[in-house]
Structure 1
Amino acid sequence: MKIVSQPEELAQFRQTLQGSVGFVPTMGALHNGHLSLIKRSIAENDHTVVSLFVNPTQFLPGEDLSTYPRRQEADLKLCRLAGVDAVFTPQATAMYSIEEPILCAPDTLGYMLEGLRRPGHFDGVLRVVLKLFNLTQPAHAYFGKKDAQQLYLIQNMVRTLFLPVSIVPCDIVREEDGLALSSRNVYLSPDERQEALKLSKALKHASRLVIQKEFHAKVLERTMQETLAPLHVEYARVLRRDFTPLERVELGNTLIAIAAYVGSTRLIDNLWI
Protein backbone atom coordinates (compact mmCIF):
# COMPACT_ATOMS: atom_id res chain seq x y z
CA MET A 1 0.00 0.00 0.00
CA LYS A 2 1.35 3.39 -1.02
CA ILE A 3 1.07 6.36 1.36
CA VAL A 4 1.31 9.81 -0.21
CA SER A 5 1.00 13.24 1.37
CA GLN A 6 1.59 15.61 -1.54
CA PRO A 7 -1.06 16.28 -4.21
CA GLU A 8 1.53 16.10 -6.99
CA GLU A 9 2.70 12.70 -5.79
CA LEU A 10 -0.87 11.40 -5.71
CA ALA A 11 -1.56 12.68 -9.23
CA GLN A 12 1.60 10.98 -10.48
CA PHE A 13 0.71 7.72 -8.76
CA ARG A 14 -2.78 7.85 -10.27
CA GLN A 15 -1.28 7.91 -13.76
CA THR A 16 0.40 4.56 -13.10
CA LEU A 17 -2.89 2.79 -12.33
CA GLN A 18 -4.51 0.73 -15.05
CA GLY A 19 -8.19 -0.11 -14.86
CA SER A 20 -10.93 1.40 -12.73
CA VAL A 21 -10.22 3.39 -9.58
CA GLY A 22 -12.59 3.61 -6.63
CA PHE A 23 -12.20 6.49 -4.19
CA VAL A 24 -13.29 6.75 -0.56
CA PRO A 25 -12.81 10.26 0.90
CA THR A 26 -12.73 10.34 4.71
CA MET A 27 -11.64 12.57 7.58
CA GLY A 28 -9.98 9.61 9.26
CA ALA A 29 -10.87 8.09 12.65
CA LEU A 30 -12.10 5.17 10.59
CA HIS A 31 -14.84 2.87 11.88
CA ASN A 32 -16.86 0.01 10.42
CA GLY A 33 -18.98 2.46 8.46
CA HIS A 34 -15.91 3.67 6.59
CA LEU A 35 -14.72 0.10 6.24
CA SER A 36 -17.97 -0.85 4.50
CA LEU A 37 -17.31 1.86 1.90
CA ILE A 38 -13.73 0.68 1.44
CA LYS A 39 -14.75 -2.96 1.05
CA ARG A 40 -17.37 -2.06 -1.53
CA SER A 41 -14.87 -0.01 -3.50
CA ILE A 42 -12.36 -2.86 -3.46
CA ALA A 43 -15.05 -5.28 -4.65
CA GLU A 44 -16.17 -3.05 -7.50
CA ASN A 45 -12.91 -1.57 -8.80
CA ASP A 46 -9.42 -2.60 -9.90
CA HIS A 47 -7.83 -0.15 -7.46
CA THR A 48 -8.98 1.75 -4.36
CA VAL A 49 -7.67 5.04 -3.01
CA VAL A 50 -8.63 6.38 0.43
CA SER A 51 -8.03 9.90 1.71
CA LEU A 52 -7.49 10.75 5.38
CA PHE A 53 -7.88 14.51 5.69
CA VAL A 54 -9.60 16.59 8.38
CA ASN A 55 -10.67 19.35 6.03
CA PRO A 56 -10.55 22.74 7.77
CA THR A 57 -12.73 24.59 5.27
CA GLN A 58 -15.86 22.67 6.31
CA PHE A 59 -15.52 23.55 10.00
CA LEU A 60 -17.04 26.76 11.34
CA PRO A 61 -15.44 28.88 14.10
CA GLY A 62 -16.08 27.19 17.44
CA GLU A 63 -16.57 23.72 15.95
CA ASP A 64 -14.38 20.73 16.81
CA LEU A 65 -11.62 21.09 14.20
CA SER A 66 -8.83 21.03 16.80
CA THR A 67 -10.32 18.13 18.77
CA TYR A 68 -11.71 16.04 15.91
CA PRO A 69 -10.51 12.43 16.42
CA ARG A 70 -7.24 11.71 14.67
CA ARG A 71 -5.87 8.15 14.60
CA GLN A 72 -3.75 8.04 11.48
CA GLU A 73 -1.57 5.08 12.46
CA ALA A 74 -4.63 2.93 13.20
CA ASP A 75 -6.36 4.18 10.06
CA LEU A 76 -3.40 3.23 7.89
CA LYS A 77 -3.28 -0.23 9.43
CA LEU A 78 -6.99 -0.74 8.73
CA CYS A 79 -6.55 0.37 5.12
CA ARG A 80 -3.57 -1.92 4.65
CA LEU A 81 -5.44 -4.92 6.05
CA ALA A 82 -8.46 -4.14 3.87
CA GLY A 83 -6.33 -4.15 0.71
CA VAL A 84 -6.34 -0.45 -0.20
CA ASP A 85 -3.87 0.48 -2.94
CA ALA A 86 -3.05 4.01 -1.78
CA VAL A 87 -3.86 6.38 1.08
CA PHE A 88 -3.66 10.15 0.71
CA THR A 89 -2.71 11.98 3.93
CA PRO A 90 -2.19 15.65 3.03
CA GLN A 91 -1.73 18.69 5.24
CA ALA A 92 -4.04 21.68 4.77
CA THR A 93 -1.14 23.77 3.46
CA ALA A 94 -0.73 21.30 0.59
CA MET A 95 -4.43 21.40 -0.30
CA TYR A 96 -5.15 25.12 -0.10
CA SER A 97 -3.53 28.35 -1.18
CA ILE A 98 -4.28 31.96 -0.26
CA GLU A 99 -5.68 32.85 -3.68
CA GLU A 100 -7.84 30.23 -5.34
CA PRO A 101 -11.37 30.01 -6.80
CA ILE A 102 -14.12 29.34 -4.30
CA LEU A 103 -16.86 26.80 -5.00
CA CYS A 104 -20.16 27.60 -3.28
CA ALA A 105 -23.10 25.33 -2.53
CA PRO A 106 -26.47 26.26 -4.07
CA ASP A 107 -28.13 29.14 -2.23
CA THR A 108 -31.18 27.22 -1.04
CA LEU A 109 -30.03 23.66 -0.47
CA GLY A 110 -26.66 24.70 0.92
CA TYR A 111 -28.25 26.77 3.68
CA MET A 112 -31.08 24.59 4.96
CA LEU A 113 -30.99 21.84 7.59
CA GLU A 114 -27.25 21.16 8.05
CA GLY A 115 -26.39 24.42 6.34
CA LEU A 116 -28.80 26.53 8.41
CA ARG A 117 -26.73 26.33 11.59
CA ARG A 118 -23.48 25.75 9.72
CA PRO A 119 -23.43 28.41 6.96
CA GLY A 120 -20.54 27.79 4.59
CA HIS A 121 -20.04 24.20 5.74
CA PHE A 122 -21.05 22.73 2.40
CA ASP A 123 -18.91 25.24 0.51
CA GLY A 124 -15.92 23.66 2.21
CA VAL A 125 -17.16 20.13 1.57
CA LEU A 126 -17.65 20.68 -2.15
CA ARG A 127 -14.37 22.53 -2.43
CA VAL A 128 -12.29 19.70 -1.01
CA VAL A 129 -14.22 16.92 -2.76
CA LEU A 130 -13.71 18.57 -6.14
CA LYS A 131 -9.97 18.83 -5.46
CA LEU A 132 -9.82 15.17 -4.40
CA PHE A 133 -11.74 14.07 -7.49
CA ASN A 134 -9.32 15.99 -9.71
CA LEU A 135 -6.36 14.27 -8.07
CA THR A 136 -7.72 10.73 -7.97
CA GLN A 137 -9.81 10.76 -11.18
CA PRO A 138 -11.99 7.91 -9.90
CA ALA A 139 -14.53 5.93 -11.85
CA HIS A 140 -16.56 5.57 -8.66
CA ALA A 141 -16.60 7.50 -5.38
CA TYR A 142 -18.26 6.11 -2.26
CA PHE A 143 -20.25 8.15 0.27
CA GLY A 144 -22.42 7.12 3.20
CA LYS A 145 -26.12 7.89 3.26
CA LYS A 146 -25.86 9.18 6.84
CA ASP A 147 -24.64 12.51 5.44
CA ALA A 148 -27.64 12.65 3.14
CA GLN A 149 -27.53 16.37 2.38
CA GLN A 150 -23.81 16.21 1.67
CA LEU A 151 -24.40 13.23 -0.59
CA TYR A 152 -27.10 15.04 -2.57
CA LEU A 153 -24.98 18.19 -2.95
CA ILE A 154 -22.02 16.15 -4.21
CA GLN A 155 -24.27 14.37 -6.69
CA ASN A 156 -25.54 17.77 -7.81
CA MET A 157 -21.98 19.07 -8.21
CA VAL A 158 -21.01 16.05 -10.30
CA ARG A 159 -24.08 16.46 -12.49
CA THR A 160 -23.85 20.22 -13.02
CA LEU A 161 -20.06 20.37 -13.48
CA PHE A 162 -20.12 17.33 -15.81
CA LEU A 163 -17.58 15.43 -13.72
CA PRO A 164 -16.72 11.94 -15.05
CA VAL A 165 -17.32 10.08 -11.78
CA SER A 166 -20.16 7.89 -10.55
CA ILE A 167 -21.28 8.61 -6.98
CA VAL A 168 -22.17 5.43 -5.08
CA PRO A 169 -24.46 5.95 -2.04
CA CYS A 170 -23.86 3.39 0.71
CA ASP A 171 -26.21 2.36 3.50
CA ILE A 172 -25.77 3.55 7.08
CA VAL A 173 -23.90 1.11 9.32
CA ARG A 174 -25.18 0.84 12.88
CA GLU A 175 -24.22 -0.67 16.20
CA GLU A 176 -26.32 -3.64 17.33
CA ASP A 177 -28.50 -1.31 19.42
CA GLY A 178 -29.20 0.95 16.45
CA LEU A 179 -26.77 3.83 16.98
CA ALA A 180 -25.44 5.06 13.64
CA LEU A 181 -21.66 4.82 13.49
CA SER A 182 -19.88 8.19 13.63
CA SER A 183 -16.36 9.31 14.42
CA ARG A 184 -17.93 11.74 16.89
CA ASN A 185 -19.44 8.92 18.96
CA VAL A 186 -16.15 8.81 20.87
CA TYR A 187 -17.16 12.11 22.50
CA LEU A 188 -20.14 10.47 24.23
CA SER A 189 -20.04 9.47 27.90
CA PRO A 190 -21.70 6.14 28.81
CA ASP A 191 -24.89 7.96 29.83
CA GLU A 192 -24.84 10.09 26.69
CA ARG A 193 -24.33 6.95 24.64
CA GLN A 194 -27.66 5.69 25.91
CA GLU A 195 -29.33 9.05 25.25
CA ALA A 196 -28.00 8.99 21.70
CA LEU A 197 -30.16 5.94 20.98
CA LYS A 198 -33.14 8.30 20.90
CA LEU A 199 -32.17 9.29 17.35
CA SER A 200 -32.55 5.81 15.92
CA LYS A 201 -35.60 5.17 18.11
CA ALA A 202 -37.29 8.28 16.71
CA LEU A 203 -36.65 7.04 13.18
CA LYS A 204 -38.03 3.60 14.07
CA HIS A 205 -41.19 5.16 15.50
CA ALA A 206 -41.68 7.20 12.34
CA SER A 207 -41.09 4.11 10.20
CA ARG A 208 -43.62 2.13 12.23
CA LEU A 209 -46.23 4.82 11.64
CA VAL A 210 -45.58 4.71 7.89
CA ILE A 211 -46.03 0.92 7.92
CA GLN A 212 -49.36 1.59 9.66
CA LYS A 213 -50.32 3.89 6.74
CA GLU A 214 -49.71 7.17 8.56
CA PHE A 215 -48.26 9.35 5.79
CA HIS A 216 -48.75 12.89 7.13
CA ALA A 217 -45.32 14.50 7.50
CA LYS A 218 -46.37 16.71 10.44
CA VAL A 219 -47.60 13.69 12.42
CA LEU A 220 -44.30 11.88 11.88
CA GLU A 221 -42.29 14.98 12.80
CA ARG A 222 -44.30 15.48 16.00
CA THR A 223 -43.76 11.85 16.97
CA MET A 224 -40.03 12.17 16.46
CA GLN A 225 -39.84 15.34 18.55
CA GLU A 226 -41.63 13.55 21.39
CA THR A 227 -39.27 10.58 21.18
CA LEU A 228 -36.19 12.80 21.10
CA ALA A 229 -37.15 14.82 24.21
CA PRO A 230 -35.40 16.22 26.18
CA LEU A 231 -32.52 16.39 23.69
CA HIS A 232 -31.84 19.72 21.99
CA VAL A 233 -33.20 19.00 18.51
CA GLU A 234 -32.03 21.10 15.58
CA TYR A 235 -34.40 19.43 13.18
CA ALA A 236 -36.57 16.36 12.74
CA ARG A 237 -37.93 16.61 9.22
CA VAL A 238 -39.75 14.59 6.60
CA LEU A 239 -38.68 15.63 3.10
CA ARG A 240 -38.34 14.42 -0.43
CA ARG A 241 -34.93 12.99 -1.23
CA ASP A 242 -34.13 16.17 -3.18
CA PHE A 243 -34.79 18.08 0.06
CA THR A 244 -37.94 19.80 -1.13
CA PRO A 245 -40.79 19.88 1.44
CA LEU A 246 -43.72 17.52 1.33
CA GLU A 247 -46.96 17.11 3.25
CA ARG A 248 -47.34 13.34 2.85
CA VAL A 249 -44.78 10.55 2.59
CA GLU A 250 -43.99 9.51 -0.97
CA LEU A 251 -42.82 5.91 -0.82
CA GLY A 252 -39.49 5.54 -2.59
CA ASN A 253 -38.79 9.28 -2.52
CA THR A 254 -38.80 10.28 1.16
CA LEU A 255 -36.02 11.14 3.59
CA ILE A 256 -36.60 11.38 7.34
CA ALA A 257 -33.70 13.32 8.86
CA ILE A 258 -32.67 14.21 12.41
CA ALA A 259 -29.98 16.40 13.95
CA ALA A 260 -29.75 16.66 17.72
CA TYR A 261 -27.28 17.41 20.49
CA VAL A 262 -26.48 14.72 23.01
CA GLY A 263 -24.68 16.71 25.65
CA SER A 264 -22.29 18.86 23.63
CA THR A 265 -22.03 16.34 20.77
CA ARG A 266 -24.02 17.01 17.63
CA LEU A 267 -25.26 13.84 15.93
CA ILE A 268 -27.23 13.23 12.74
CA ASP A 269 -29.19 10.25 11.51
CA ASN A 270 -31.74 9.53 8.81
CA LEU A 271 -34.00 6.97 7.20
CA TRP A 272 -34.74 6.57 3.49
CA ILE A 273 -38.27 5.44 2.71
Structure 2
Amino acid sequence: MKIVSLNAFESPLSRTNKIRLKKLTEELLRLKPDIICLQEIIKAKTARRIQKLLQPYGYRTFIQPKRIFNHGGLVCAVKLPVIKHEFTPFKNQGVHVSLQLAERIIKKGYQCVKLQTDTFPVTVFNTHVASIFRKKSKKQLQTRFVHVRQLLDAIVKTKGNIISTGDYNFTPHDQEHRFMEKAGGLTDPLEITYFPTVSPKNTNRKKSFIWPKYSVRHDYTWLSKSLLKKLHKQKIIFDTPYKIKRRFIHLSDHYGILTELKV
Protein backbone atom coordinates (compact mmCIF):
# COMPACT_ATOMS: atom_id res chain seq x y z
CA MET A 1 0.00 0.00 0.00
CA LYS A 2 1.44 3.34 -1.08
CA ILE A 3 0.63 6.66 0.62
CA VAL A 4 1.68 10.12 -0.61
CA SER A 5 1.31 13.27 1.49
CA LEU A 6 2.14 16.86 0.51
CA ASN A 7 1.38 20.45 1.42
CA ALA A 8 0.50 21.53 -2.13
CA PHE A 9 1.01 25.30 -1.61
CA GLU A 10 -2.00 26.90 -3.27
CA SER A 11 -1.03 30.38 -2.14
CA PRO A 12 -2.47 33.75 -3.23
CA LEU A 13 1.16 34.95 -3.23
CA SER A 14 2.21 32.39 -5.85
CA ARG A 15 1.87 33.08 -9.56
CA THR A 16 2.52 29.45 -10.48
CA ASN A 17 -0.39 27.76 -8.69
CA LYS A 18 -2.20 26.54 -11.79
CA ILE A 19 0.78 25.09 -13.68
CA ARG A 20 2.33 23.60 -10.55
CA LEU A 21 -0.84 21.88 -9.39
CA LYS A 22 -1.47 20.48 -12.86
CA LYS A 23 2.05 19.03 -12.95
CA LEU A 24 1.64 17.79 -9.38
CA THR A 25 -1.49 15.86 -10.32
CA GLU A 26 0.38 14.27 -13.24
CA GLU A 27 3.24 13.24 -10.96
CA LEU A 28 0.85 11.82 -8.37
CA LEU A 29 -0.81 9.67 -11.01
CA ARG A 30 2.60 8.48 -12.19
CA LEU A 31 3.42 7.28 -8.65
CA LYS A 32 0.12 5.33 -8.51
CA PRO A 33 -0.47 5.70 -4.75
CA ASP A 34 -3.40 4.01 -3.05
CA ILE A 35 -3.88 7.03 -0.78
CA ILE A 36 -3.21 10.70 -1.60
CA CYS A 37 -3.33 13.30 1.17
CA LEU A 38 -2.93 16.96 0.22
CA GLN A 39 -2.94 20.07 2.36
CA GLU A 40 -3.29 23.73 1.41
CA ILE A 41 -5.68 23.23 -1.50
CA ILE A 42 -7.44 26.44 -0.55
CA LYS A 43 -9.92 27.16 -3.34
CA ALA A 44 -13.10 25.14 -3.75
CA LYS A 45 -12.75 25.18 -7.55
CA THR A 46 -9.20 23.80 -7.31
CA ALA A 47 -10.34 20.98 -5.02
CA ARG A 48 -13.13 20.11 -7.45
CA ARG A 49 -10.69 20.19 -10.37
CA ILE A 50 -8.34 17.75 -8.64
CA GLN A 51 -11.31 15.53 -7.77
CA LYS A 52 -12.35 15.49 -11.43
CA LEU A 53 -8.82 14.73 -12.67
CA LEU A 54 -8.37 11.80 -10.28
CA GLN A 55 -11.79 10.19 -10.78
CA PRO A 56 -11.02 8.41 -14.10
CA TYR A 57 -8.10 6.66 -12.39
CA GLY A 58 -10.26 5.00 -9.77
CA TYR A 59 -9.89 7.50 -6.94
CA ARG A 60 -12.68 8.49 -4.61
CA THR A 61 -11.78 12.00 -3.47
CA PHE A 62 -12.95 13.73 -0.29
CA ILE A 63 -13.04 17.53 -0.17
CA GLN A 64 -14.99 20.19 1.75
CA PRO A 65 -15.84 22.86 -0.87
CA LYS A 66 -17.99 25.82 0.08
CA ARG A 67 -18.69 28.90 -2.05
CA ILE A 68 -15.08 30.02 -2.37
CA PHE A 69 -12.90 27.96 -0.04
CA ASN A 70 -12.21 24.28 0.49
CA HIS A 71 -12.57 23.97 4.26
CA GLY A 72 -9.40 22.82 5.96
CA GLY A 73 -7.57 23.09 2.63
CA LEU A 74 -7.56 19.29 2.70
CA VAL A 75 -7.93 16.69 -0.05
CA CYS A 76 -7.88 12.93 0.53
CA ALA A 77 -8.12 10.60 -2.48
CA VAL A 78 -8.26 6.82 -2.07
CA LYS A 79 -8.52 3.70 -4.19
CA LEU A 80 -9.41 1.38 -1.32
CA PRO A 81 -12.99 0.63 -0.21
CA VAL A 82 -14.28 3.33 2.15
CA ILE A 83 -16.02 2.42 5.40
CA LYS A 84 -16.66 6.01 6.54
CA HIS A 85 -15.28 9.53 6.20
CA GLU A 86 -15.67 12.89 7.93
CA PHE A 87 -14.10 16.32 8.31
CA THR A 88 -13.78 17.90 11.76
CA PRO A 89 -12.80 21.57 12.17
CA PHE A 90 -10.53 22.52 15.04
CA LYS A 91 -12.39 24.13 17.92
CA ASN A 92 -9.68 26.80 18.29
CA GLN A 93 -9.21 28.57 14.95
CA GLY A 94 -6.26 30.75 15.94
CA VAL A 95 -5.43 34.30 16.97
CA HIS A 96 -7.65 37.00 15.44
CA VAL A 97 -5.09 39.81 15.27
CA SER A 98 -2.30 37.93 13.49
CA LEU A 99 -1.54 36.16 10.24
CA GLN A 100 -3.41 33.20 11.72
CA LEU A 101 -6.55 35.14 10.78
CA ALA A 102 -6.05 33.92 7.20
CA GLU A 103 -6.13 30.36 8.49
CA ARG A 104 -9.39 31.00 10.35
CA ILE A 105 -11.06 31.76 7.03
CA ILE A 106 -10.57 28.22 5.70
CA LYS A 107 -11.43 26.56 9.03
CA LYS A 108 -8.48 24.30 9.62
CA GLY A 109 -9.18 20.80 10.90
CA TYR A 110 -8.64 17.17 10.00
CA GLN A 111 -10.11 14.54 7.70
CA CYS A 112 -10.72 11.04 9.04
CA VAL A 113 -11.18 8.31 6.43
CA LYS A 114 -11.61 4.67 7.46
CA LEU A 115 -10.61 2.19 4.75
CA GLN A 116 -10.66 -1.56 4.22
CA THR A 117 -7.55 -3.26 2.84
CA ASP A 118 -7.55 -6.89 1.71
CA THR A 119 -6.66 -8.01 5.22
CA PHE A 120 -7.57 -5.32 7.77
CA PRO A 121 -9.17 -1.87 8.25
CA VAL A 122 -7.00 1.25 8.48
CA THR A 123 -7.92 4.80 9.49
CA VAL A 124 -6.24 7.77 7.80
CA PHE A 125 -6.07 11.22 9.41
CA ASN A 126 -5.10 14.09 7.10
CA THR A 127 -4.45 17.47 8.73
CA HIS A 128 -2.83 20.90 8.52
CA VAL A 129 -2.07 22.28 11.98
CA ALA A 130 -1.84 26.01 12.76
CA SER A 131 1.20 27.87 11.43
CA ILE A 132 3.43 29.85 13.79
CA PHE A 133 4.10 33.29 12.31
CA ARG A 134 5.80 34.63 15.46
CA LYS A 135 7.92 32.07 17.30
CA LYS A 136 7.58 33.95 20.59
CA SER A 137 3.79 34.30 20.38
CA LYS A 138 2.38 32.26 23.26
CA LYS A 139 -1.12 32.45 21.79
CA GLN A 140 -0.03 31.10 18.40
CA LEU A 141 1.99 28.32 20.05
CA GLN A 142 -1.01 27.46 22.22
CA THR A 143 -3.22 27.24 19.12
CA ARG A 144 -0.83 24.72 17.56
CA PHE A 145 -0.75 22.67 20.75
CA VAL A 146 -4.54 22.47 21.13
CA HIS A 147 -4.85 21.48 17.46
CA VAL A 148 -2.51 18.56 18.06
CA ARG A 149 -4.32 17.65 21.28
CA GLN A 150 -7.73 17.61 19.57
CA LEU A 151 -6.33 15.47 16.75
CA LEU A 152 -4.75 13.04 19.22
CA ASP A 153 -7.99 12.75 21.18
CA ALA A 154 -9.65 11.53 17.98
CA ILE A 155 -6.77 9.17 17.19
CA VAL A 156 -6.75 7.61 20.67
CA LYS A 157 -10.52 7.04 20.51
CA THR A 158 -10.21 5.42 17.07
CA LYS A 159 -7.54 2.84 18.03
CA GLY A 160 -6.57 0.11 15.57
CA ASN A 161 -4.37 0.68 12.51
CA ILE A 162 -3.67 4.41 12.21
CA ILE A 163 -1.96 6.61 9.60
CA SER A 164 -1.79 10.28 10.57
CA THR A 165 -0.28 12.53 7.95
CA GLY A 166 0.00 16.17 6.92
CA ASP A 167 1.70 19.48 7.66
CA TYR A 168 1.98 19.71 11.45
CA ASN A 169 4.02 22.92 11.56
CA PHE A 170 6.27 21.66 14.35
CA THR A 171 9.80 20.26 14.26
CA PRO A 172 11.09 16.93 15.66
CA HIS A 173 12.46 18.96 18.59
CA ASP A 174 9.13 20.51 19.63
CA GLN A 175 6.97 19.18 22.47
CA GLU A 176 4.16 18.26 20.07
CA HIS A 177 6.43 15.67 18.42
CA ARG A 178 6.93 13.90 21.76
CA PHE A 179 3.21 14.28 22.46
CA MET A 180 2.34 12.44 19.23
CA GLU A 181 4.64 9.59 20.25
CA LYS A 182 3.76 9.27 23.93
CA ALA A 183 0.07 10.25 24.05
CA GLY A 184 -0.82 8.98 20.59
CA GLY A 185 1.32 5.85 20.53
CA LEU A 186 2.49 6.79 17.03
CA THR A 187 5.90 6.49 15.37
CA ASP A 188 7.67 8.91 13.03
CA PRO A 189 9.71 6.59 10.75
CA LEU A 190 11.89 9.49 9.53
CA GLU A 191 12.70 10.77 13.02
CA ILE A 192 16.37 9.76 13.04
CA THR A 193 17.08 11.01 9.50
CA TYR A 194 16.44 14.74 10.03
CA PHE A 195 15.51 15.15 6.37
CA PRO A 196 13.87 18.59 5.94
CA THR A 197 10.56 19.08 4.17
CA VAL A 198 10.98 22.87 4.12
CA SER A 199 14.17 24.35 2.69
CA PRO A 200 15.46 27.75 1.50
CA LYS A 201 16.73 25.87 -1.57
CA ASN A 202 13.13 25.38 -2.65
CA THR A 203 12.37 27.67 -5.60
CA ASN A 204 9.04 28.67 -4.04
CA ARG A 205 10.73 29.94 -0.86
CA LYS A 206 13.70 31.89 -2.16
CA LYS A 207 11.79 35.18 -2.16
CA SER A 208 9.69 34.49 0.93
CA PHE A 209 9.48 37.35 3.42
CA ILE A 210 7.51 35.34 6.00
CA TRP A 211 9.40 32.11 6.55
CA PRO A 212 12.93 31.66 7.96
CA LYS A 213 15.88 30.93 5.70
CA TYR A 214 16.84 27.56 7.14
CA SER A 215 15.90 23.93 6.56
CA VAL A 216 13.37 22.33 8.87
CA ARG A 217 10.90 19.46 8.98
CA HIS A 218 7.19 20.22 9.41
CA ASP A 219 5.60 17.30 7.54
CA TYR A 220 5.06 13.77 8.81
CA THR A 221 3.36 10.47 8.12
CA TRP A 222 2.91 8.85 11.52
CA LEU A 223 2.16 5.14 11.89
CA SER A 224 0.62 3.14 14.71
CA LYS A 225 2.85 0.37 16.07
CA SER A 226 0.69 -2.24 14.33
CA LEU A 227 1.48 -0.65 10.94
CA LEU A 228 5.14 0.04 11.73
CA LYS A 229 5.71 -3.71 11.50
CA LYS A 230 4.46 -3.56 7.92
CA LEU A 231 6.61 -0.58 6.86
CA HIS A 232 8.57 -1.20 3.66
CA LYS A 233 9.99 2.30 3.24
CA GLN A 234 9.36 5.98 3.85
CA LYS A 235 11.18 8.76 2.03
CA ILE A 236 11.08 12.41 1.01
CA ILE A 237 9.78 13.10 -2.53
CA PHE A 238 9.24 16.13 -4.78
CA ASP A 239 12.49 17.63 -3.43
CA THR A 240 13.91 18.41 -6.87
CA PRO A 241 12.64 21.03 -9.35
CA TYR A 242 10.64 20.10 -12.45
CA LYS A 243 10.86 21.78 -15.82
CA ILE A 244 7.54 23.54 -16.37
CA LYS A 245 7.14 25.97 -19.26
CA ARG A 246 10.89 26.54 -19.68
CA ARG A 247 11.41 27.07 -15.95
CA PHE A 248 12.71 24.77 -13.26
CA ILE A 249 10.48 25.04 -10.21
CA HIS A 250 9.49 22.84 -7.29
CA LEU A 251 5.93 21.49 -7.22
CA SER A 252 5.31 23.08 -3.81
CA ASP A 253 7.07 25.10 -1.13
CA HIS A 254 7.18 21.86 0.90
CA TYR A 255 8.60 18.47 -0.02
CA GLY A 256 6.34 15.43 0.14
CA ILE A 257 6.49 12.08 1.92
CA LEU A 258 6.05 8.67 0.29
CA THR A 259 5.23 5.73 2.56
CA GLU A 260 4.96 2.11 1.44
CA LEU A 261 3.48 -0.63 3.61
CA LYS A 262 3.59 -4.37 2.99
CA VAL A 263 -0.10 -5.17 2.89
What TM-score do the two structures reach when normalised by structure 2?
0.35
Higher helix content, 1 or 2: 1
Higher relative contact order (CA 8 A, sep 6+): 2
Higher strand content, 1 or 2: 2
Structure number with bigger Rg: 1
What TM-score do the two structures reach when normalised by structure 1?
0.34
